[in-house]
Amino acid sequence: MSAFHVLMLPGDGIGPEVLAVAEHALTTVCATGNFAIETTTHPFGGAAYDAHGVPVTEATLAAASAADAVLLGAVGGPQYDTVDPAVRPERGLLALRKHLGVYANLRPARCFPALAHASPLKAELTRNVDILFVRELIGGIYFGEPRGIDGPPGERRGYNTMVYSEPEIARIVRRAFGLAQKRRKRLTSVDKANVLEVHRLWRRVVDGIAPEFPDVAVDHLYVDNCAMQLATRPGQFDVVVTGNLFGDILSDEAAALTGSLGVLPSAALGEGPGLFEPVHGSAPDIAGQGIANPIAAVLSAAMLLRWSAKRNDLALRLERAVDDCLGAGLRTADLFTGRTGERQVGTQALGDAIIDALSTGPSRVAKKSPTVKIPRVGDATGGIQ
C-alpha cells in the first residue's frame, strides 16, 4: 500500500517553527502505529512571494490536489503589508482553500483542564466547554460579488455581497448534523434571519434538513445572542454551524475562552484532500525567538490523522501526549503564569517533550524537559480580533 502523502506548507513567521514540531510529532506517532506516511514541503504565503512573486504557485496547488492532506503553518507579516493586495500572503490561503474546495471549517474550542485558570472567564463557566464550530469557508460575504469601492473621492461607496445558494447551505448543514450525531447530538445554527434574507433562506434549509437527523436536537440563535451566550453560558454548546463571516468572529471569541491562540487547531474539509492549520497567524512579534507554542500545530496534525487519514487512534495518541505535557506543567511563554508546578519551555523543548510523551508517558516528560529561561512576552490572547 502506498504511503499517506502530506504536503507541508510552513509559510511565514512562526509557521516554520511550529510546523517542524508538528511534522516530527506526526511522523513519530505514525511510526508507532505502523502507518506509512511521507511528506513534501513547498514555500507558501510570503515565502512563496519572495521566491516566485506569488503567494501560491500553480505547482503548489497541483501538489495540494495530489496529496492526501495538507498541513499548513501560518502566512503573513508586516513586510508584506505594502505589496499589491492581489499577491499578498493571505490571498494565497484563500486561493488554496478555494482550489481544494474545502467548504467546511472545523474549529474545536475545548478547555484543557490544566489551563482552566488561563481563561478570562471563571473556571466554573469553562469547565465543561467542548464546542465544535463548523464554519462555511468558501462562500458568503468574503467571496460574494459584486464587491468593490467606487465613486469620486468624498462620495465613494464600499460594498460587498453576502450570498449563499441552497446547495451551499445544505452541504455545510448536513456535515454539521453528521458531526453532531457523533458527539452530544446538539446543533445550534447561527444567523441574522431577523434582518438578512440570505439567513432566512439559511434557516429554512436547516429546518428542511433536520428531519433527516431525528436524533439531533437543533436550535437557531441570532448571532448577537450567540456572541453573548458564548461569554455567559459556553458549556451549553455542542456543534455550532454558521456562515463564513459569523464563523470567523464567533470561533475567535470561543478561542479566547481556552486561554491562548497557541493551542487551537483547525481543519478545512471538502470532498478531496483536507487542509489542516493552527488558528493563529504568523505571530511576527515572536517569530525567530524559539518561544512559539507548537500545540495548535500538533493538534492540527491530530485532526489530519482523524479526518483525512481516518486514524482516530493515532489522533487520540497525539492529543494525549499534548495533555500529558500540559498536565506535567510544561508551558510556552504564552501560557506561563508562574504558578506552582509550571515550567517555562521553548518551542523545541515542548516539541521534544511531546515526542517523549508519545512513547514514555507523562511522568518522564516532567522529569526530562529542561526549563528554559525566556523573558515573558505579552499576553498572547491580546491579538485575537
E strands within 103-210?
A: 104-110, 130-136, 148-150, 157-159, 186-191
Closest distance to ligand NAD from the beta carbon of 242 (Å): 18
Closest distance to ligand NAD from the beta carbon of 254 (Å): 15
Report the residue number, 84 or 285, with the smaller CB distance to ligand NAD.
Answer: 285
> Quick one: the chain helix, strand, coil %, rounded to 5?
45, 20, 35
| Burial of 101 from C-beta contacts in 10 A (0-12 / 13-18 / 19+) | middle
Report the residue number, 14 or 102, with the smaller CB distance to ligand NAD.
Answer: 14
Which of 84, 207, 224, 313 is the catalytic position? Answer: 224
Task: Check if 248 is active-site.
Answer: yes
Task: Check if 50 is active-site.
Answer: no
Which of 12, 103, 191, 192 is the catalytic position? Answer: 192
Report the residue number, 58 or 285, with the smaller CB distance to ligand NAD.
Answer: 285
Closest distance to ligand NAD from the beta carbon of 167 (Å): 27
Distance CA 299, CA 188 (A): 24
Closest distance to ligand NAD from the beta carbon of 221 (Å): 26
Distance CA 6, CA 312 (A): 17
Task: Check if 224 is active-site.
Answer: yes
Closest distance to ligand NAD from the beta carbon of 25 (Å): 15
Q: Is the peptide bond before 146 cis (omega within 30 degrees of 0)?
A: yes
Mind giving me the DSSP string for 207-231? Answer: HHHGGG-TTSEEEEEEHHHHHHHHH
Task: Check if 159 is active-site.
Answer: no
Report the residue number, 30 or 297, with the smaller CB distance to ligand NAD.
Answer: 297
Report the residue number, 107 or 192, with the smaller CB distance to ligand NAD.
Answer: 107
Separation of CA 367 from chain center:
31
Closest distance to ligand NAD from the beta carbon of 55 (Å): 11
Which of 50, 142, 185, 368 is the catalytic position? Answer: 142
The cell numbers describing 343, all together, are 515550567
Q: Which residues contact 153 (CB under 8 A, 6 or more apart)?
A: none
Report the residue number, 23 or 334, with the smaller CB distance to ligand NAD.
Answer: 334
Distance CA 105, CA 250 (A): 13
Q: Which residues contact 268 (CB under 8 A, 6 or more apart)?
A: 97, 100, 102, 104, 105, 106, 137, 274, 275, 276, 277
> Where along the sequence are the contacts to ligand NAD (CB under 6 A)?
14, 18, 74-77, 90, 93, 261-262, 277, 280-286, 292-293, 296, 334, 380, 382-383
The cell numbers describing 235, all together, are 458549556
Task: Check if 252 is active-site.
Answer: yes
User: What amino acid positions are annotated as catalytic residues?
Assistant: 142, 192, 224, 248, 252
